[in-house]
Structure 1
Amino acid sequence: MALGAEDFQGVWALRRTIVDRRDGQNGVLQGQAVFTATDANHLIYHETGTLTLEAGATLEATRRYLWEFSKGEVVVTFADGRPFHRFVPSGHAAGTDHPCGADVYKVRYDFTAWPDWIAVWTVTGPRKEYVSTSTYQRR
């Protein structure tokens, strides 16, 4: 059974590990993701956190996406409405690929331990090569 917008609403603790195979810019982000409903099928995803790189640098990070729940899938767009990717919010789910110039972003979601869930992004191309693993836990 697929999850709906109401299942994601609220505050989530977020931990992200980044393993950079090209530049060695490995790091860990600690923060939170907040899903706010704009109506029954639309959520605003707003992420804030602190990224600490192995080299010692610390950066503040934010992201904002729009999630639309439609016909058993989630359509994710950037905050300005540009398409990002889509996925089925159930079990182990591969999202659609997102090309960014010559680099390609591939995502897999894991909802099998709900309400904890994971998103793993694998990014490859001439400019980037890293894996970003985000774990979410309800607060």
Structure 2
Amino acid sequence: MGEFWPVPDALAHLAGRWRTERSVRDLASGDTGVFTGTTAFRPLDGGGMLHEESGTFTWQGVPRPAERTLRFLPGPAPGTADVRFADGRPFHLLDLTTGRHTADHPCSADLYRGEFTVADADRWRTVWRVRGPAKDLLLTTDYVREG
């Protein structure tokens, strides 16, 4: 993606259903995987969005059902989001007001560094680089708005 598309309100922008495709590369072993499915952002009682992802993750040729849930709550500044795991633990902040954002999430001894870019009203991408003693991964996810 070349140019970034500024998003004045991340929660309003993400609302709805997205076709989701993620490539996963283990940079240490060379193994690769692919997730295909959908991500739905639905309003949460009390504000924010519930992010529900479901689909199929294929790793080393073996497809398996996969899902995850996150909570996107109103962030500290207008238009931003406080992203949390389903159990309420903090994940990262998200500020798409410039169309691009970088976030870090330490997980044990590993560090997740995410880059979020918005191409236009209907396409955005996340790229997570995970480095540490337990992991050496690159996860690239493309989202395309459904109907």
For the criterion TM > 0.5, the same-fold answer is: yes
Report the counterpart of residue 4 of structure 2 in structure 1. none
Query: How many pairs were matched up?
Result: 137
4+ long deviations beyond 6 Å: none
Which aligned pairs between 1:1-139 and structure 2 lie closer than 5 A?
Answer: 1-39=7-45, 41-53=47-59, 55-70=60-75, 71-72=77-78, 73-90=80-97, 91-95=99-103, 97-139=104-146
Q: How far did 1:66 drift?
A: 0.3
Name the CA distance, whole Å, in 1 between partners of 2:9 and 2:142. 17
TM-score, length-normalised on structure 1?
0.91
SS in 2 for 1:85: strand
- Residues 27 and 137 of structure 2 are in contact (CA less than 8 Å); yes or no, is this contact kept in structure 1? yes
SS across alignment from 1:5 = helix
Q: Percent identity?
A: 32
Q: 1:39, CA displacement in angstroms?
A: 4.6
- Whether the aligned pair in 2 keeps the contact of 1:111 and 1:117 (CA below 8 Å) is yes
Query: Could you list the runs of 5+ residues in structure 2 that have no partner in the other structure?
Result: 1-6
TM-score normalised by the chain length of structure 2: 0.86
Question: Does the CA-based 8 Å contact 1:5-1:41 persist in structure 2?
Answer: no
Distance, in Å, in 2 between the alignment partners of 1:88 and 1:74 is: 7
| 1:94/1:109 contact within 8 Å kept | yes
Deviating more after overlay: 32-41 vs 73-82: 32-41
Do the aligned residues in 1 keep the contact of 2:10 with 2:95 (CA within 8 Å)?
Answer: no
Residue ranges of structure 1 left out of the alignment (5+ in a row): none
1:63-118 superposed Cα distances (whole Å, 9 cap, x missing partner): 100001232321100111001111202312112x1111100001000013332000
CA distance in 2, matches of 1:20, 1:69: 33
